[in-house]
Amino acid sequence: MIRNQLLICAGGACITSGEKSVKDALVEELARNGIQDEVQIIETGCMGACDLGPIVVVYPEGTFYQKVNVQNAGLIVSEHLVKGRTVPELLYHGPTSEKKAQTSEEIPFYTRQVKRVLRNCGVIDPLSIEEYIARDGYFGLGKALEMGPDEIIKTVQDSGLRGRGGAGFPTGIKWKATKDATGSPKYVVCNGDEGDPGAFMDRSVLEGDPHSVIEAMVIAGFAVGAATGYVYVRAEYPLAIERLDYALKKAREYGFLGKNILNSGFDFDIEIRIGAGAFVCGEETALLRSIEGKRGIPSLKPPFPAQAGLWGKPTLINNVETYANIAPILINGADWFRSVGTSKSPGTKVFALVGKVQNTGLVEVPMGTTLRELVFDIGGGIRDGKKFKGAQTGGPSGGVITADYLDMPIDFDTVKEIGTIMGSGGLVILDEDNCMVDVAKFYLEFIVDESCGKCTPCREGTRQMYRIMERICDGKGRGGDVEKLKSLGKVIQLTSLCGLGQTAPNPVLSTIRFFEDEYRAHIEDKKCPAHVCKHLLTYSINPDKCVGCTACARQCPVQAIGGQVKKVHVIDQATCIKCGACYEVCRFDAILKE
Amino acid sequence: MRMNLEDRLNENPELKKQFDELDAYIDEKASQQGSLINVMHRAQEIFGYLPDDVLYYVAKRLNVPRSTVYGVVTFYHFFSRVPKGRHTVSVCLGTACYVRGGSTVYDRVMKTLGIKAGETSQDRRFTLDLVRCVGACGLAPVVVIDKDTYGRMTPDKVVTLLNKYA
Amino acid sequence: MKSLEELKRIKEQTLKAMDLRQAKDRGKVVVAMGTCGIAAGAKDTLMAVIEELEKANIHDVQVVQSGCMGLCDREPTIEVSMKDQPSVIYGDVDDANARRIVHEHIQGGQVVAELVIRRGNI
């Protein structure tokens, strides 16, 4: 008889924080206390609060234990499970609240979220198809088979669901176009090539609730008339591949894949295709070439994949998060889906909240939520009491949302108006210590590496932009550089073939739009206001604070620091290579960085 | 003069075993359309990298031009045509890691190992790679060594960590 | 899997196994698991309550543990609080008494008078 269940978050971040050894410690401690048959341990997908990991939730109470480690995991067994006492030192304690939170419902990070896509992540065992079924899994498929293709597509259209991969194209229109296209066989593809650095929504869905994607693909196959599906997953996500592979086997065993699904006469099966590390493969036409086993080179649209996709046949391609929305829409109806979100962007959006925010992790909120709610209410504000500077959305294809727009409701259209894109949901929070020129340069370097090389404006143009950015950060910026960046950017946007090239200049153009004075400071004053760009810094020693401990002089790799023991030290500016080693090592705050 | 592949396989049972394993995988996947990338993944798992012999062999078995195989292998970052070290250290410079100081970690790894991204140390102990996001952004900066991911890295912590890998 | 009926059956079965994770609103049984409670057999009491609820097919009452309630000479003790009723603390709840409380109090709505230590919230 099971009296307690321990749910351990086995999402990527918690595994990194030592989830496996915590689990082993719990198993050992349960056995030591002789209650291994009364307490069940279940590893779930990502619970979202990545910063608090490893996380263990004890049911039936729902007690939420965070930052559990090998040393204190035993307390959950010996105190909570044996003696019925909660372990106060493992409870969450917010930065502002007086009281410790007992359950996740008392933690602001969770209370503001609306979990639809992540409905099962962190709640069920991703390896258990039965638990997925218990949470209404595959009932959407059952209903779809009764509805028939036309009604399914109408429901998806009525729901107003827009593609969650970034561009926000209406999903129902894609489905209808693929169904109406002539040509056979047809294919259904899931884009799980989440290449945007700083984003891990799709990874968490594939790891935490793989059946939600499988079920939706079967529904899609039935709706558009396809018999084969492909899930394209990044090679960087081995755990997602493993769990998806297992889930596919189970789905076949239960008859949700294969011949004559649920006695409907409909046949469908899914194959996994593993990426091989090329960002451009997130672009749909490039992805299709990659599934075909070729170089991932994008092609001109039209023809759209709905007309000529995989091997030239009509192909429906949607992103992981888009698929995860499908089954609930069919079960609950289009109006239910529209009950949250904005009128033009209904539903929820999953964001990977990362960067300089207190509570990093995975959050799902209604479309139209403001950045202020995301950063300050859910995210708990900026780390170390620093000032919010901006939020980068859409990765290398996006731009920044600044403090002026903290109260703007975020949806597909509002972010576009201020020069960025929703993207797949990476939300990187930047504070006053981040240099916007440096951040833009970082994205540009990424694009230079990842451009497939097909179009000259993207291949050569981004490289030239990068050179200009590099010299600006090196203190060699020239008058007119900002204008050059703008005009080059415009040309690349207008003349590249695919989405990667067309959006590649966005991070630079967006930061110029909102932080032009920072560019000017780099170019004209040769200063980096955020003290990031190495070549624009000067290190010196504050004689009032230096105690002559010699720590900096011993650390300096080029012997640029001189001075006697217990006497004030001095940095020789001509020798200094600005590595910052002295700044890191000084315990008296005596090194000045300007 | 270089012997042909067949003669070398007869002389080297270890190598033969590897090619047999690859053969079995190709047999299993032969019916699938467009399985080249999957086959190259498997080949890299078996051989550790993708030497020319393997490229030519796969081209013959899948009946595609050598140029196509070469094109695919050189297009994708994941494939390597040079042998790797015993351990692969991947420093993440995805956005979240970058804004939280990933490049200082990378600099220290470079300095400690004396190699740049894409290179392998003389003693074949480490290969250094840069990756763009492993999806553990909540714990940035992140370093991956072989299959283990380490979060909240600092330049000092990463050096201690490297010492654990022989 | 060939029909929706089969799917529903799996759902019902699995929901039982996931029962501990569901929110329950009809009531709560707290088993005191302090040192003296455990010494007096509170662990058997806890398992008896859970087993008996399962047998009676009651899934809307939560069973949780607590530390010592401070009534050491009447251990094992349990507190039963059903919705809209004052809570009741029982003493000397061994295996058999635990099962009796489940039947008479939780199922039948009748407080087991001779085992009561205290009524009303502490």
Nearest to A159 by CA among A216, A214, A203: A216
Calpha distance C31→C48 (Å, rounded): 11
pLDDT at B19 over 90: yes
Residue C2 resides in a domain: no
pLDDT tops 90 at residue B1: no
Question: Does A138 contact chain C (CB < 8 Å)?
Answer: yes
**CA angle B157-B158-B161, nearest 5°?**
90
**Judgement on whether residues A484 and A578 belong to the same structural domain of the protein:** no
A147 touching chain C per CB within 8 A: no
Residue B136 to residue A12, Cβ atoms within 8 A: yes
A158, A251: one domain: yes
In a domain, C97, yes or no: yes
Question: Residue A515's pLDDT is what?
Answer: 97
In terms of CA atoms, which chain A residue is nearest residue B35?
A: A293
Mean pLDDT of A217-227: 98
The residue in chain B having the minimum alpha-carbon distance to the alpha carbon of residue A439 is: B99
A379 pLDDT higher than 70: yes
The yes-or-no verdict on residue A388 having pLDDT over 60 is: yes
* Inter-chain residue contact B99 with A434, CB threshold 8 Å: yes
Q: Do A393 and A330 have their domain in common? A: no
What would the two tokens of residue A196 be?
Answer: 């945007």
Please give, rounded to a whole number of angstroms, the shortest distance from the CA of A301 to a CA of chain B. 22
pLDDT of residue B145: 93
- Residue closest to A431 by CA, chosen among A537, A541, A355: A355
Summarize the confidence of residues C34-48 as an average pLDDT.
Answer: 84
Size of interface A-B (CB pairs under 8 A): 142
Q: Are residues A216 and A134 in the same domain?
A: yes
Condensed to tens digits (0 to 9), the pLDDT of residues A552-573 reads 998 888 889 998 999 999 999 9
The candidate with the shortest Cα–Cα distance to B88, out of B42, B29, B142, B130, is B130
- CA dist A552 and A550 (Å) reads 5
- Tell which of A411, A431, A451 closes a domain: A431
Q: Is residue C35 part of a domain?
A: yes
Rounded to a whole number of angstroms, the distance from the CA of B49 to the nearest CA of chain A is 14
Closest CB to B33 among A199, A311, A360: A311
Q: Where does the pLDDT of residue B147 fall: very low under 50, low under 70, confident under 90, or very high at 90 and above?
A: confident
Distance from CA of B55 to the nearest CA of A (A): 14
Region of A427 on the Ramachandran plot (φ > 0 left; ψ -120 to 50 alpha; else beta): beta
Task: Check residue A178 and give its pLDDT.
Answer: 98
Please answer whether residues A556 and A569 qualify as being in contact, where contact means their C-beta atoms are separated by less than 8 angstroms.
no
| CATH number of the domain where residue C68 is located | 3.40.30.10
Q: From the CA of C45, how many Å to the nearest CA of chain A? A: 12
Are both A508 and A568 inside the same structural domain?
A: no
A104 at interface of C, judged by CB pairs closer than 8 A: no
Q: Is residue C76 part of a domain?
A: yes
Structure confidence at residue C68 (pLDDT):
72
Tokens linked to A468: 């200009």
Interface test with B, best of A428, A449, A532, A537 (most B CBs within 10 A): A428
Per-residue pLDDT of A87-103, as tens digits, reads 999 999 876 666 788 88
pLDDT tens, A156-167? 999 999 999 888
A212 contact partners, CB below 8 Å, separation of at least 6: A117, A119, A120, A132, A137, A205, A323, A324, A327
Pick from A584, A449, A396, A589: nearest CA to B118: A449
**Minimum distance, in Å, between the CA of residue B31 and any CA atom of chain A:** 13
Q: Are A306 and A315 in contact (CB under 8 A)?
A: yes
Q: Which helix (H) or strand (E) holds A41?
A: strand A39-44
In this prediction the ipTM stands at 0.87
Task: Tell me the sheet residues that pair with A41.
Answer: A6
Please compute the mean of the pLDDT values over residues C2-15 and round it to a whole number.
90
What would the pLDDT profile of A320-362 be if each residue is shown by its tens digit? Answer: 999 999 999 999 999 999 999 999 999 999 999 999 999 888 9
Residue A19 and residue A79 share a domain: yes
Do the chains contact at A60 and C20, CB–CB below 8 Å? yes
Tally of domains within chain A:
5
The DSSP result for A231-251, as a single string, is EEE-TT-HHHHHHHHHHHHHH
H/E element holding B145? Answer: strand B143-145
Quick check: is C65 in a domain? Answer: yes
Averaged pLDDT for residues B14-36: 89
Instruction: State residue A528's pLDDT score.
Output: 95
Query: Do residues A380 and A110 lie in contact, with contact meaning Cβ atoms separated by under 8 Å?
Result: no
Q: Where do the domains of chain B lie?
A: 5-75, 87-163
Which range has the top average pLDDT, A327-331, B33-37, B62-66? Answer: A327-331
| Cα nearest neighbour of B69 on chain A | A294
Q: Are strands A361-366 and A348-355 parallel, antiparallel or unpaired?
A: antiparallel
Average pLDDT, chain A: 94
A254 vs C: CB within 8 A: yes
Instruction: Please give the Cα distance from C98 to C46 (Å, whole number).
Output: 8
pLDDT at A445: 92
What is the overall mean pLDDT for chain B?
90
Query: What's the whole-number mean pLDDT along residues B126-135?
Result: 85
As beta bridge partners, residue A571 has A561
Contact call for C and B: 3+ CB–CB distances under 8 Å: no
Mutation target among C12, C64, C78, C102 for the A interface, most CBs of A within 10 A? C64
In this complex, do A255 and C10 lie within 8 Å of one another by their Cβ atoms? no
Query: DSSP alpha helices (H): ranges in A87-128?
Result: 108-111
CA of C118 vs chain A CAs: smallest distance (Å): 21
Task: Evaluate whether A315 touches A228 at the Cβ level (below 8 Å).
Answer: no
Residue numbers in B near A276 (CB within 8 A): 37, 40-41, 76-79
Question: How far away is chain A from the Cα of B62, in angstroms, using its nearest Cα?
Answer: 11
pLDDT value at residue C65: 84
What kind and span of H or E run contains A192?
strand A187-192
Residues of chain C with C-beta less than 8 angstroms from the C-beta of A133: 7, 10-11, 14
Does C1 contact A4 at a Cβ distance shorter than 8 Å?
no
For B102, the token pair is 């990933």
3-state secondary structure of A287: helix
Q: Give the pLDDT band of residue B2 (cuts 50, 70, 90).
A: low
User: What local confidence, expressed as pLDDT, does residue A96 receive?
Assistant: 66
**Angstrom distance (rounded) from CA A82 to CA A75:** 9
Q: Closest partner residue to A138 among C7, C18, C24, by Cβ? A: C7
Q: What is the mean pLDDT of residues B83-89?
A: 91
Same-domain check for residues A293 and A408: no
- Mutation test of the interface with chain B: which of A200, A245, A270, A556, choosing the one with the most B Cβ atoms within 10 A? A200
> Does residue A121 form part of some domain?
no
Domain end position, chosen among A337, A358, A384: A337
Q: Are residues A195 and A299 in the same domain?
A: yes
Residues of B in contact with A279 (CB under 8 A): 132
pLDDT at A172: 97
DSSP state of C119: E
CATH for B87-163 is 3.40.30.10
Q: Which residues of A52-87 are buried (b: 16+ CB within 10 A; e: fewer)?
A: bbbbbbbbbbbbbbbebeeebbbbbbebbbbbbbbb
CATH number at residue A27: 3.40.30.10
Residue A121 confidence (pLDDT): 93
Q: What is the distance in angstroms between the Cα of C88 and the nearest Cα belonging to chain A?
A: 19
**For residue A433, pLDDT beyond 70:** yes
| Segments forming the whole domain that contains residue C76 | 23-119
Least confident of A38-42, A513-517, B24-28, C70-74: C70-74
Q: Which residue in this structure is represented by tokens 């859910």? A: A378
Residue A134 and residue C67: Cβ atoms within 8 Å?
no
Q: Report chain B residues touching chain A, CB-CB < 8 A.
A: 32-38, 40-41, 68, 71-72, 75-79, 93-96, 98-100, 104, 131-140, 142, 147, 149-151, 155
Q: State which residues form the domain around A491.
A: 436-523
Lowest mean pLDDT across A204-208, A517-521, A528-532, A584-588: A584-588
Domain assignment present for A480: yes
Report yes or no on A258 lying in a domain.
yes
Contact assignment for A295 to B94 by CB distance below 8 Å: no
Q: From the CB of residue A563, how many other CB atoms can be counted at a distance below 10 Å? A: 16
- Residue range C6-32: average pLDDT? 87
Residues A76-89: what's their mean pLDDT? 90
- For an interface test with C, which of A41, A130, A268 has the most C Cβ atoms less than 10 Å from its Cβ? A130
Q: Under DSSP, is residue B18 helix (H, G, I), strand (E, B) or coil?
A: helix
Q: Verify whether the Cβ–Cβ distance C38 to A254 is below 8 Å.
A: no
**A521: helix, coil or strand?**
helix
Considering the domain architecture, whether residues A37 and A166 belong to the same structural domain is answered as no
- Does C91 reside within a domain? yes
pLDDT tens, residue by residue, A461-520: 999 999 999 999 999 999 999 999 999 999 999 999 999 999 999 999 999 999 999 999
Judged against a pLDDT cut of 70, whether residue C121 lies above it is answered with no
Q: Cβ–Cβ of C54/A7 closer than 8 Å?
A: no
CA distance A34 to chain C (A): 11
Q: How far apart are alpha carbons A433 and C69 in whole angstroms?
A: 52
Flag whether C10 is in a domain: no
Q: How many domains does chain C have?
A: 1
What pLDDT score does A246 carry?
97
Q: Do A198 and B36 touch (CB under 8 A)?
A: no
Q: Which sign, positive or negative, has the C-alpha torsion A131, A135, A140, A143?
A: positive
The answer to whether the CB atoms of A276 and B131 lie below 8 A apart is no
Q: Are residues A499 and A444 in the same domain?
A: yes
- Residue A441 and residue A414 in one domain: no
Mark whether A77 and A105 lie in a shared domain: yes
Higher pLDDT, A255 or A94: A255
Within 10 A of A146 (CB to CB), how many other CB atoms are there?
12
